[in-house]
Structure 1
Amino acid sequence: MTLAVLLLASSALPAQAATSRAKQRKLADTQMLFSKAMRWGDFEQAWGVVDPKVREQRPLSALELSRYQQVQVSGYSEIGSLGGADGVVVRLMEMRVVNRNTMAERTLRVRERWRWDDAAGQWWLLDGLPDPWQGQ
């Protein structure tokens, strides 16, 4: 009986590891999609990766979207990332933006929090879009 339990338990570990690897791959793919959308100024596509609950609570208005069109993202690169005990992954980013009116470039630090949604099989960004006007 103990041998059967040990065999069953040991066979579950590779499946769990494979699931974890698949989730990590999905996270990397989702973060790459988000980063590309940010770099290309495709804020509507980037908005699609934001947690649906956040989108519902704080919808992106046409005015807010037009404000994003006033900046050109000249860089969006990862500084580092770490996993939290609650399953939320935190990624620190450096965002460089150029104000299209003044042509002045600023460098910002952005903290992204990502959560896994088992039902959707998707990672979601919990913080909404980065604020290019922070600290102004």
Structure 2
Amino acid sequence: MRPTVHTLSAFVMLLSALLLASCASTLGPVNDSLQKTQYAWAGAIRWGDFEGAWGVVDPAYRAANPLTDLEMERYQQVQISSYRELASTADLQGGYAGRDIEIGVINRHTLAERTVRYREEWRYDAIDKQWWLTSGMPDLWQGQ
């Protein structure tokens, strides 16, 4: 008995569904971890917890680019009014993700508001099962 085209098509579709399900099951925790980490990061920035946000920055980046007390003090001079994702990309198998963000920034002294664009770059540490921000803290003073 020879398989028909319909039987082969059904078999290929079933196999594809099983492969997708296996990929989803192995990458599901990685994706969940990314979403939780990005949510925590956005919350820290949005509510002015810049020290907490600094803890999400890649340890290698922090070691190479330590924040000075003066730089941290500058972050205390602003209020974040909005934090909006404009676009995102992710290669979960490659351990990479990126997001384009628009941040509303209010100067606490002048009450002047402006928007800043920022590109987040994320990498996944498979050993620690942790996502790290590799692009550093947002430059809230660009163009000033």
Are positions 1:134 and 2:137 aligned together?
no
Aligned to 2:120: 112
CA RMSD in angstroms comes to: 2.0
Aligned to 2:27: 20
Partner secondary structure for residue 135 of structure 2 = coil
Partner secondary structure for residue 128 of structure 2 = coil
Residue pairs, 1:91-110, within 5 angstroms: 91-110=99-118
Partner secondary structure for residue 129 of structure 1 = coil
C-alpha distance in 2 between matches for 1:89 and 1:22: 15
Are positions 1:44 and 2:51 aligned together?
yes
TM-score (norm 2): 0.81
Structure 2 unaligned segments of length 5 or more: list them. 1-17
Partner secondary structure for residue 49 of structure 1 = coil
- Counterpart residue type for residue 79 of structure 1: L
Aligned residues: 127
Aligned to 1:8: none
TM-score (norm 1): 0.86
The structure having more radius of gyration, on CA atoms, is 2
Aligned to 1:123: 131
Partner secondary structure for residue 19 of structure 1 = helix
Aligned to 1:55: 62
C-alpha distance in 1 between matches for 2:116 and 2:70: 22
